């Protein structure tokens, strides 16, 4: 896992990390007239479209829910939190390859790069989820204080994504097909997770198989918080939590063993 020496190195380079996150955020909207407005406009447009289409036009229903916004909330809670997982993992896998030039020219702890990915993903997600909560307030569906339980769930899904990301990023340095494969796998992974459909519509053998998907308990926890407005079922999160610890350990072990060869392979 991460040693105290690694943490000291990361803290020593906190200015570098902060500057990289800020530059990355600013570069998304460089040369635009309205700047940060687009940070809010994109998620607001998506959430509004989902709400209008599903609540007012298609009007799908979820068992046990009378509100016309039930499916919209279910969908948005899943899509938005999946976006955090997919962005963290997708960017994490190629983090060393994408920054090959920087790694060859500048001396800094390589673990700064995954930290930058995590912080950038959190920054974007904070804005997106803030817009979602604002919409929930407007339509009278804000879950109340239980929304705070989303914080440890976000930490868990970030740990799962970055643990797997560091492991695959290390392998991707030597075998570039890994990075290409992850993009394809994420597309299938999305549809194999009950996000745009409720798990109750699946045949029992399929629904039991989906329990093996470590992201599903995490997405379900978010949907429980925002839709059911209650605390998640914590025992269901033991599996992804244990897997997260294993992936973080294996990922850091592989990185520690091979970090000296990473720059040479880039």
The pTM assigned to this predicted structure is 0.90
User: Does any domain span residue 36?
Assistant: no
The number of folded domains in the chain is 1
User: Does any domain span residue 50?
Assistant: no
pLDDT of residue 118: 95
Helical axes 177-191 vs 70-93, angle rounded to 10°: 170
pLDDT of residue 48: 80
Average pLDDT, whole number, for the chain?
A: 87
- Residue 160 pLDDT grade (very low, low, confident, very high; cuts 50, 70, 90): very high
User: Does any domain span residue 181?
Assistant: yes
User: Does any domain span residue 128?
Assistant: yes
User: Does any domain span residue 20?
Assistant: no
3-state secondary structure of 198: coil
Q: Convert the pLDDT of each residue in 83-102 to its tens digit.
A: 999 999 999 999 998 888 88
Domain hosting 165: range is 71-265
CA pair distance 214, 79, nearest whole angstrom = 16
User: Does any domain span residue 148?
Assistant: yes
CA pair distance 233, 211, nearest whole angstrom = 14
User: Does any domain span residue 143?
Assistant: yes
Q: Length of the chain, please?
A: 266
Lowest mean pLDDT among 27-41, 61-75, 108-122: 27-41
Q: Convert the pLDDT of each residue in 161-211 to its tens digit.
A: 999 999 999 999 998 899 899 999 999 999 999 998 888 888 888 888 999
Burial pattern 44-74, b for ≥16 Cβ within 10 A else e, equals: eebbeebbeebbeeeeeeeeeeeeebbbbbb
User: Does any domain span residue 118?
Assistant: yes
């Amino acid at each position: 896992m991460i040693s105290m020496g690694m943490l000291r190195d990361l803290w020593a380079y906190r200015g570098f990390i902060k500057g990289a996150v800020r530059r990355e955020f600013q570069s998304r909207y460089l040369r635009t007239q309205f700047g940060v407005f687009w940070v809010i406009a994109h998620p607001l447009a998506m959430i509004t479209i989902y709400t209008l289409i599903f609540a007012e036009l298609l009007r799908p229903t979820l068992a046990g829910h009378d509100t016309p916004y039930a499916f919209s909330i279910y969908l948005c809670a899943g899509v938005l939190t999946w976006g955090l997982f997919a962005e963290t993992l997708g960017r994490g896998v190629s983090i060393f390859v994408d920054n090959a030039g920087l790694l060859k020219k500048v001396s800094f702890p390589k673990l700064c790069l995954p930290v930058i990915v995590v912080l950038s993903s959190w920054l974007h997600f904070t804005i997106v989820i803030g817009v979602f909560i604002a919409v929930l307030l407007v339509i009278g569906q804000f879950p109340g204080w239980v929304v705070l339980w989303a914080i440890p769930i976000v930490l868990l899904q970030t740990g799962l994504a970055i643990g797997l990301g560091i492991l695959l990023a290390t392998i991707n340095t030597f075998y570039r097909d890994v990075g290409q494969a992850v993009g394809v796998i994420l597309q299938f992974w999305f549809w194999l997770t009950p996000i745009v459909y409720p798990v109750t519509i699946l045949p029992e053998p399929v629904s039991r198989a989906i329990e093996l998907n470590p992201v599903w308990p995490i997405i379900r926890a978010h949907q429980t918080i925002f839709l059911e407005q209650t605390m998640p079922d914590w025992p269901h999160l033991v599996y992804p939590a244990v897997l997260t610890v294993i992936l973080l350990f294996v990922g850091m072990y592989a990185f520690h063993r091979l970090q000296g060869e990473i720059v040479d392979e880039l």
